[in-house]
Chain A
Amino acid sequence: QQPVQSPQAVILREGEDAVINCSSSKALYSVHWYRQKHGEAPVFLMILLKGGEQKGHEKISASFNEKKQQSSLYLTASQLSYSGTYFCGTEPDQGAQKLVFGQGTRLTINP
């Protein structure tokens, strides 16, 4: 039931791009993306609802393919501040708000 994130970890140089994937074995209504820095609270990035939409937030965007039950997070021209662990949270049923989170992807950005 827990979605699978890939890769588990990635190391980039500043300015490079990254893609983080989130795959579920169940049909999804929505996917939430969060970033967490060590010792801090997870911070909301964006929500994608059923309908296959793509969203953007500065240089961070995401897509949601409901047929494939997958979502991808795109980080373009990465900055040092993007370092952290990224989690996807999947919501299988509308109105439940019972998110099931992936195991996380650790992103390290080096100068």
Chain B
Amino acid sequence: DVKVTQSSRYLVKRTGEKVFLECVQDMDHENMFWYRQDPGLGLRLIYFSYDVKMKEKGDIPEGYSVSREKKERFSLILESASTNQTSMYLCASSLSASSGNTIYFGEGSWLTVV
């Protein structure tokens, strides 16, 4: 089974702190994604990566950056956390960019910024 692991399930950070959310997948998938989930808004794509060191902006990239130094690991970075970034963050991966591939999600990281 594909496993997408998010290292931190629950985090509380202060406004202005730099925050790292880490994600690892174990199935040699090319694509990795970071989504943000908020009540009533569904899942919104922040960034995605289709290869090592490659990244593309999603629908809501402002205030975020990403890093993909190794194929299995995709990190989401909040350079200076703000209260409006309090949310659930979901990492996901898929085999390749071809349509029809299943996207597998991690269990999510709940981030509270105070």
| B-chain residues with CB within 8 Å of residue A104 when the two chains form the complex | 40, 42
Q: Is A29 an interface residue (CB 8 A)?
A: yes
Q: Is B44 an interface residue (CB 8 A)?
A: yes
Q: Mark B39-52, 1 if CB is under 8 A from A, else 0.
A: 01111110010100
| B-chain residues with CB within 8 Å of residue A29 when the two chains form the complex | 99
Stretch at the interface among A59-67, A71-79, A87-95: A87-95
Q: Is A40 an interface residue (CB 8 A)?
A: yes
Contact of A44 among B42, B50, B59, B103 (CB under 8 A): B103
Q: What bracket does the count of chain A residues touching chain B fall in?
A: 20 to 34
In angstroms, Cα B103 to Cα A103, docked, is 18
| B-chain residues with CB within 8 Å of residue A32 when the two chains form the complex | 102-103
Q: Is B64 an interface residue (CB 8 A)?
A: no
Q: Mark B87-105, 1 if CB is under 8 A from A, else 0.
A: 0001000101111111111
Main secondary structure of the interface of A (DSSP, over half): loop
B102 touches A102 (CB 8 A): no
Q: How many A-B residue pairs have CB under 8 A?
A: 66
B81 to chain A, nearest CB (A): 22
Q: A47-B100, A97-B99 are in contact. Are A103 and B107 (CB under 8 A)?
A: no
In angstroms, Cα B45 to Cα A53, docked, is 27
B45 touches A99 (CB 8 A): yes
A29 to chain B, nearest CB (A): 6
A90 to chain B, nearest CB (A): 11
Contact of A87 among B31, B42, B50 (CB under 8 A): B42
Q: Is A98 an interface residue (CB 8 A)?
A: yes
| B-chain residues with CB within 8 Å of residue A99 when the two chains form the complex | 45, 103
Closest 3 pairs between A and B when the two form their complex, measured CB to CB: A101-B43, A41-B105, A101-B42
B interface list, Cβ under 8 A from A: 4, 31, 35, 40-45, 48, 50, 58-59, 90, 94, 96-108
With A41-B106, A96-B97, A97-B101 known, 14 other A-B pairs at CB within 8 A are A34-B105, A41-B105, A44-B103, A44-B104, A89-B103, A94-B99, A96-B99, A97-B50, A97-B98, A99-B103, A101-B35, A103-B41, A103-B42, A104-B42
